[in-house]
Structure 1
Amino acid sequence: MAFLSSLNGPTSKIKFLAKLTDFSSNALSLRRNLAVFESGYKCFGLKVDGKSLWESRVLHNSEQIEEFINVSDVPLLSSSEVFERLKEDREKRKGKQQFLAMYSSVFGGITTDPTTMVIPMDDHMVHRGHGVFDTAAIMDGEGSLRYWLSVGPGDFQLSPSGCKQSALYAIVIQDKTPLGREGVKVWTSTVPIKPPQFATMKSVNYLPNVLSKMEAEEKGGFAAIWLDEDGYIAEGPNMNVAFVTKENGLLMPSFDKILSGCTARRALSLSEGLVREGRISGIRVGNVTMEEGKQACEMMLIGSGILAKVGPVGQALLDLILDDMKFGPTDVRVPVPY
């Protein structure tokens, strides 16, 4: 494929290879390449892979190029017009979540206008997925603080060598959706799980996670659960999983090949109190077979909260997590005045 900068003459004097097509119903595509050597406008029917029909125009001077461009219905907008259109679009897309504030190291401040909560297109986190993120729950504020660390803006190359400064973004999201306590349905995911090197890292490369979630929703479920390459239960698309065995023990998959979620690790720590109280028989972190999962008395999805069908251990662990968010030690929570 030739770039325009590599052409060694005006387009009217350059030979282009094209495959001509007759648009009649009984016509067959000509199986030969023909050279186009004409000035002015020429139109050809092109069949691409036997499917799409395209129109090709050969222009012989800059005036005709300008005329061709101007027939486009896409307007050239001023900065103020872009802002107004973004604002109108934002008003149309109001949902259950409210975006209260955003910090960006690019502009070095905080904005409370959702219209201006944007990041540069040339940020490598946008077009290369080169960044990491995490989420902190805001307990009494009914929301969360989500933050991203990116290699930063610079260019559209693959290498980040053109990015002169990393970037930090953070946004406060208010979400008044109540915690689900009635239970949810899960499926086994057919989407391949990420290799351990990437599964244990919370990067913005979430395409497998999204596809797994979509797969579950298409089947009428809430989430799809991954199995590792050895067939053991691994994790959900954005949550860890835990089980209560028939012997009343807490069982959680090992973190060797999956993300060790902050809430999951905290849940393990808090569950030690349930052992001391005799409410569970013990705690085991290791390989969990499909059979163990199916025979479990309770199953939990653990993320920024806990989704669990009503059960004594799941309810007790959820209460401990919620209490810990309010009154836990300062090394696991940060008081925020508001």
Structure 2
Amino acid sequence: MIPVLDTDAWVEKLLSTRRSAEGKILAFYEHRMEAICRDPRLLLMPADDHLAHRGDGVFESMKFEGRRLYQLDAHLERMERSARGIYLTPPCTQSVLRDIVLQVARAADTPDGCIRILLGRGPGGFGIDPAECPVPSLYVVAYSLTPKPEEWYEKGVTAFRTSIPAKQGYLATIKNANYIPNVLMKLEARSRGCDIPVSFDENDFIAEGPTENLCLVDADGTLVVPEFTNALSGTTIMRVIDLVRDEMNVAFRKVREDELYRAAEVMVLGTTTECVSVVSFEGQPVGGGRPGPVARRFRELLRRDLAENGISF
């Protein structure tokens, strides 16, 4: 028989039950509690939160290093756009959310880590109607960061054309909580023994990776960024563009697969990836088959920018 526990017994059992990877959770905030906690056993989401059972919500991920939070405002601005895209009003202002993020990062009590913000429709029922949810949910979690070793950047990554199609435009441009296509892309990459799956839209143009943007340097030295028609506008790639405007030309346009093989360099950019060279695509060498100087320059600029402009907490 499954026991039926009262409140005290349930809480006692909860506190005695270990959770997987609990050492990775450093601190978290939940809007219902209006407090920060460091015990990963208490990081819980109500099952009737539409964020959990419908994927009805948006999120952002950012990192901090040396107690400096990188691109906080860019992530918050994108979250605000994403929330508007699904007609979701956060339970607090952006300035209050900004302060919450900084306080959670501080409570993590470690120099390096990541922050995940989850904004959901809220708890209230198991239907699909947002009217079930009287108050939106908000979770801010600090968790550990395991940076890639330098050897990974020196080696470069392999990429391939995933069988998972690009998301529909109106969904791809919103950082929403439904990441099933992204998960399937990662599973396919693992089964193929490759690093980065790349999705293509219905017109055979490059869209994005599971959590990263792709770009290339053409024979003329122009940085070519695939249009964000069926892709999320990445905070990292947009910051790189700001940092290199005086160094090279930048073009946003549609890009087909064959251009990757002719490119001087192909790169993948993301929050924790930073910038890494793609050295092969579909088993064929690209960019000379080795990491290039532009990728190294981009990563150097990103590292410097974090040190100089990251928000200290």
Give the TM-score range, shorter chain: 0.7 to 0.9
Match of 1:308 in 2: 276
CA–CA separation in structure 2 for the residues paired with 1:177 and 1:318: 13
- Tell me how far 1:253 sits from its aligned partner: 0.4
Per the alignment, do residues 77 and 308 of structure 1 end up closer, same or farther by CA in structure 2, a change over 3 Å counting? same
Per the alignment, do residues 89 and 293 of structure 1 end up closer, same or farther by CA in structure 2, a change over 3 Å counting? farther
Deviations 1:245-303 (A, max 9, x none): 2333211101232110111111111121332xxxxxx2211111111112223221111
- Structure with higher Rg: it is 1
Deviations 1:107-146 (A, max 9, x none): 1111100000111111110011110001122122322111
**Which residue, out of 262, 269, 280, partners 1:295?**
262
CA–CA separation in structure 2 for the residues paired with 1:77 and 1:297: 64
Q: Which has the higher contact order (CA 8 A, sep 6+)?
A: 2
Correspondence 1:182-193 to 2 at 5 A: 182-193=155-166
- Tell me how far 1:234 sits from its aligned partner: 1.1
Match of 2:3 in 1: 75
Correspondence 1:101-112 to 2 at 5 A: 101-112=27-38
Deviations 1:215-247 (A, max 9, x none): 111100122101111101111011111112233
SS of the equivalent of 1:102 reads strand
Residue 302 of structure 2 corresponds to residue 321 of structure 1:
yes
CA–CA separation in structure 2 for the residues paired with 1:75 and 1:297: 64
Residue 41 of structure 2 corresponds to residue 138 of structure 1:
no
SS of the equivalent of 2:18 reads helix
Conserved? CA contact 2:207–2:229, under 8 Å: no
SS of the equivalent of 1:256 reads helix
Conserved? CA contact 1:102–1:112, under 8 Å: yes
**Which residue, out of 116, 119, 130, partners 1:149?**
119
SS of the equivalent of 1:154 reads coil
Match of 1:225 in 2: 198
Q: Which runs of 5+ in 2 are unaligned?
A: 67-110, 278-290
- Letter matched to residue 156 of structure 1: F
Conserved? CA contact 1:90–1:114, under 8 Å: no
Match of 1:162 in 2: 132
- Letter matched to residue 30 of structure 2: S
Deviations 1:48-77 (A, max 9, x none): xxxxxxxxxxxxxxxxxxxxxxxx4x3334
Conserved? CA contact 1:245–1:251, under 8 Å: yes
Residue 172 of structure 2 corresponds to residue 199 of structure 1:
yes
SS of the equivalent of 2:246 reads helix
SS of the equivalent of 2:186 reads helix
SS of the equivalent of 2:182 reads helix
SS of the equivalent of 2:247 reads helix
Per the alignment, do residues 126 and 335 of structure 1 end up closer, same or farther by CA in structure 2, a change over 3 Å counting? same
- Tell me how far 1:81 sits from its aligned partner: 4.7
Match of 2:77 in 1: none
- Tell me how far 1:307 sits from its aligned partner: 4.1
Match of 1:94 in 2: 21
Segments of 4+ moved more than 3 angstroms? 77-91
CA–CA separation in structure 1 for the residues paired with 2:125 and 2:227: 39
- Tell me how far 1:98 sits from its aligned partner: 1.7
RMSD over equivalenced CA pairs, Å = 1.9
SS of the equivalent of 1:209 reads helix
Conserved? CA contact 1:100–1:114, under 8 Å: yes
| Identity fraction in percent | 31
Superposition TM-score, scaled by structure 2 size: 0.75
Correspondence 1:23-38 to 2 at 5 A: none
- Tell me how far 1:156 sits from its aligned partner: 0.9
- Letter matched to residue 297 of structure 2: A
- Letter matched to residue 33 of structure 2: F
